[in-house]
Amino acid sequence: MNTIAKRIYDFLKDFPPFNMLTRHQLFSIAEAVEVGYFEKDQALFNIDQAIKNHFYVVKNGAIGLYTSQGTIVDQCDEGDIFGLRALLRKDNYILDAIAIEESIVYSISSQLLEEYITTNSDASRFLMTSFISNTKQLESDASSIVSSEFTSLQSVDYSKNPITCTIETTIQSAAQIMTDKRIGSIVIEKDSKPIGIITDKDLRIKIATGRFSISESVSKIMSSPVITYQKNTTVAEAQIAMLKHQITHLCITEDGTNNSKLTGILSEHDIIVLRENSASSLVKEIKRSATAEQLKAIRAKAEKLLKRYLEQDLPIEFAAKLISTINNVITQKIIDSAINKQDTKPPTEFAWLAIGSQGRQEQLLLTDQDNALVYKDVSKDKQEATKTYFLNLAKQINNDLATVGFKLCPANMMSSNLKWCLSVSEWNLQFNRWITIPDQDNLMLCTIFFDFEHVYGNKTLIEKLAQNIFKSIENHDIFLTYLGRNALQNPPPLSFFRQFLVEDDGEHKNQFDIKARSMMPLVDAARLLILSHNIKSTNNTVERFKKLVELEPQNKDIYLFCIEAYKDLLWFRTEQGLQNSDSGRFIDVKSLSKVDRLKLKQSFKAVKSVQELIQTRFKLSQLM
C-alpha cells in the first residue's frame, strides 16, 4: 500500500461504518479513494444537479448542506458522511454541499460501497440505522427534504398478488405468463414458499443470447435463493437491500424469511412509483399547476398520502409537518397567481401569515382558513389606495383557497377582513389594544394570532410584529394571568360519573368535541407557558412542550405526558376525519372501541395535570 492510501486507511478506521470492515475491505477502499481539496464557499454539488457516482467523507474542515433558500440543515465535520442518500435514491441532489471552511474530502465510489460496505452485515446495519434515524433534515421547512425523509421511513407499497409458477414450468411458459400478465418478474414457488425468481433481465441475458433453450426448466435461469423481507419493510431498507445484493426485486413473506409463505413482490419500479406519489412529487405538481382547480386535485392526493402514513404508523408530528409544508406551497402558488391577476404589482412589501392550527403546523385535514396579511407602512396620501389593493388581493387569495378546499372562515378571521389586513403600525396598535384590554373577545383573538407562521413575503415585517407583541406583554404582565384564566376554561372533559362530556344540542348533539374539549386545552397551556418564558420562535404545540421540558426540568414528567397525549389526540382526530370525510372534530363516542375510549380518557389526565400546574403558577385558584 502506498503512503497516501495508508494515511487514508488510518483515518477511516476510526469512524463508522469503516471501523466495522475487515482489514482487507478497508485497505481496498483506501487504495481507491479520491482525495479532493475545496476552498471556503466552493461547492461540491448543487441542488438539482445529477448525482455523482460517489458519496463523501470529510477528512478536514467542514461541509455545509443547504436548502435552496440558503438555510443550513446540517454541518458535516471530520468523519461525517454525506451524499449517500442521493446515491441510494438514484435521483438529483436536493441540497447544496458547500465548504464552510477549507476542507479535504474523501470521495468513495458506489462500486466500493456495493462491494465492501453493503456486503458487510455490521456496516450495512449501521448505514440502515443512520439512514432512517437521522432526522435533522426534518427540522427544515424545505418541502423536498421533509418528503425525502418521509419516503425513506415509509413502509413499501408492494404487489399483494405475486405471479408464480412451479419448478417444473418451462422458460417459454414462464415468459408467456409474464407477457400475458404484463409483469417484469415471476416467482418460482415450492409449497407456497419462494425458491427462485426470473426477471425480464434474465430473459434478455440468458435466453435472447442463446445460452439456454426456452424449452428448459425455469430452474436453469432463475436466481436462487431469493432475497426476502417482511411486509413492514421501509423504503430505505428495500433500497439498501437491492443495492447490497445488486438485484431489482424483493420477495415479501409472512415472517421475512424464505421458509414462510410468499405474500408479495417488491420491485425497484415500485419504489420509483412511490417516490412519484410522495410529497416531493406533489410539490413539483403544485409548482407546475395553473389553476386553483388543479391545486384542489393535488390537495386531494395529499389527503390520500396522509391516509397511507397513518396506516403505516408514521409519527403523527412528522406527517403534520409534511402536510403543513404542502399547504404552504399551495398557498404560495395561489398568492403568486393572485398577484399576477392584479392590474399592478403590490404597492409595497407585504407578508402572508397562516394562523391557528396551520400556523402551528397542525392542520392535517381540510378545515377552515385562518390567515392574516401585514404590509409595510406607507405615506398618508397612499394609505387608502394601498389598503384597497391588499384587501382586493386577499379576497382573491381567500376565494382561491376555498376552491382548493380550505373553507372560508365563518368568523371571517381572514386577510380579506379589514381587521386582518393591516399595516405594521396598525397591527401594533391592534395588538396593544388586545393585550391592554384582555376581555374575552380580545383574549380569543390573541390566542389565534399568537400561533402564526410566515408563509409568503417579507419575513422582517412579521419579526417586527412579534417583537412589539412581546414588548406589550412585558409592559402588561397581568395579561398572562388573564391568558392563564382563559386556558382553564375547558377542564378535563369527563362528567362526575367519568362519562364523556358531549354536546347537549344542535347539529352535533351527543357527539364529543375532541378539538374544544381535549386538544385546545393542551394548545392553550403550551402557548401560555412558552409565552411566559418569552420564547418567540416556537409555535407548534409538541415543540412548545419539548422546549418546556428543557426550560423546566422539574416539570418534565408533566410536559412529556402532554406531548404523548397531544400526539394521540392529533392522530385520533386525523384518523376520524379521514374515515368520515370531515374535519374529525366531532366524534360519536358510542362508535368507539373500548381501547379508543380508554386512550382518549388517558389524554384527559394530561389536561388535568398541566391545568393544575397553570392554576398554581399564575395563582388562579381564586378565579376558578
Residue 390 pLDDT > 90: yes
C-beta separation of 262 from 194 below 8 A: yes
Weakest mean pLDDT among 63-67, 277-281, 540-544 = 277-281
User: How many Cβ atoms from other residues are within 10 Å of residue 49's Cβ?
Assistant: 14
Are the beta carbons of 14 and 59 closer than 8 angstroms?
no
pLDDT of residue 51: 84
- pLDDT of 273: 67
Distance of alpha carbon 579 from alpha carbon 491, whole angstroms: 28
Calpha distance 127→240 (Å, rounded): 9
Give the model's confidence band at 137: pLDDT under 50 very low, under 70 low, under 90 confident, else very high: very low
What are the pLDDT digits (tens) for 174-183? 999 999 998 8
pLDDT value for 73: 75
Provide the Cα torsion 27, 31, 33, 36; round to 10°.
130
Report angle CA 256, 260, 265 to the nearest 5 degrees: 60
The answer on pLDDT for 428 being more than 50 is: yes
Q: What is the mean pLDDT of residues 461-476?
A: 86
Mean predicted confidence (pLDDT) in 157-176: 92
Is the pLDDT assigned to residue 305 strictly greater than 90? no
- Residue 278 or residue 336, greater confidence: 336
pLDDT of residue 598: 83
For 527-547, the pLDDT digits (tens) are 999 999 988 778 899 999 999
> Residue 269: how many CB atoms within 10 A of its CB?
12
With b for 16 or more beta-carbon neighbours within 10 A and e for fewer, the 518-534 pattern comes to bbbbbbbbbbbbbbbee
pLDDT at 566: 94
Q: What is the pLDDT of residue 155?
A: 65
| CB-based burial, 557-566: b 16+ in 10 Å, e otherwise | ebbebbbebb
Of the ranges 380-384, 441-445, 469-473, which is most confident? Answer: 380-384
pLDDT at 19: 85
Q: Is the pLDDT of residue 453 over 60?
A: yes
Task: Choose the weakest-confidence range: 7-11, 69-73, 367-371, 550-554.
Answer: 69-73
Please state, in angstroms and rounded to a whole number, the distance separating the CA atoms of residues 242 and 578: 34
Residue 623 has pLDDT above 70, yes or no: no
Share of the chain above pLDDT 70, in %: 90
pLDDT at 275: 60
Torsion of CA 436, 480, 540, 573, to 10 degrees: -100
pLDDT higher than threshold 60 for residue 151? no
Residues 516-537 have a mean pLDDT of 90
In tens, the pLDDT along 76-133 reads 888 888 888 777 666 678 889 999 999 999 999 888 887 888 777 677 766 655 554 4
Answer for the pair 524, 443: CB distance below 8 angstroms, yes or no.
no
The 10s digit of each residue's pLDDT in 214-262 is 999 999 999 999 999 888 777 767 877 786 677 889 999 998 888 999 9
pLDDT tens readout for residues 543-583 = 999 999 999 999 999 999 999 999 999 999 999 999 888 88
Task: Give the pLDDT score at 426.
Answer: 95
Q: Are 264 and 160 in contact (CB under 8 A)?
A: yes
Q: Where are the alpha helices (DSSP H) in 405-477?
A: 424-436, 440-449, 459-475
Q: Is 167 a residue whose pLDDT tops 50?
A: yes
The verdict on pTM exceeding 0.85 is no
Tens-digit pLDDT profile for residues 313-360: 777 887 888 888 889 989 999 999 999 999 999 999 999 999 988 899
pLDDT of residue 292: 93
Structure confidence at residue 154 as a pLDDT band (50, 70, 90) = low
Q: Read off the pLDDT band of 277 (50, 70, 90).
A: low
C-alpha cell at 242: 437491492
Cα(362)–Cα(356) distance, integer angstroms: 9
- Asked if 38 contacts 32 with a C-beta cutoff of 8 angstroms, the reply is no
